[in-house]
Amino acid sequence: MIEGFTALYIFMLSAFTGYEVISRVPVILHTPLMSGSNFVHGIVLVGAMVAMGHAATTLELTIGFIGVALAAGNAVGGFVVTERMLEMFKSAKGQH
Partner 1 sequence: MDFLIQISYFAAAILFVLGLRRMSSPLTARTGIHWAGAGMLVATLITFFWPGMENYLLMTAAIFIGGVAAWWTGQKVSMTDMPQMIALYNGMGGGAAGAIAAVELLRGEFHSDIFLTLAVLGALIGSISFSGSLVAFAKLQGLIRKPLRFPLQHGINLLVFALAVGYGGILVTTGDTAGINLLVFFGLALGLGIMKTLPIGGADMPVVISLYNALTGLAVAFEGFVLNNAAMIIAGTVVGAAGTLLTQLMAKAMNRSISNVLFGSFGGEQGAEESVEGAMRPIDVTDVSIMMAYAERVIIIPGYGMAVAQAQHKIKELMDVLLARGIDVKFAIHPVAGRMPGHMNVLLAEADVPYDRLYDLDEINAEFTQTDVALVIGANDVVNPTARSNPDSPIYGMPILNADQAKNVVVIKRGQGKGFSGVENALFFADNTRMLYGDGQAMTGELIQAIKQY
DSSP string for 10-64: HHHHHHHHHHHHHTT--GGGHHHHHHHHHHHGGGHHHHHHHHHHT--SHHHHHHH
Least distance in Å: CB of 48 to a copy of itself? Answer: 22
**Residues 47-66 within binding reach of partner 1 (CB under 8 A):** 47-57, 59-61, 63-66
When computed from its CA atoms, the radius of gyration of the chain, rounded to whole angstroms, is 18
Least distance in Å: CB of 2 to a copy of itself? Answer: 6
Q: Is 13 in the site for a copy of itself (CB under 8 A)?
A: yes
Neighbouring CB atoms inside 10 A of 26's CB total: 8
Least distance in Å: CB of 33 to a copy of itself? Answer: 15
Binding residues vs a copy of itself (CB under 8 A) = 2, 6, 9-10, 13-14, 16-17, 20-21, 24
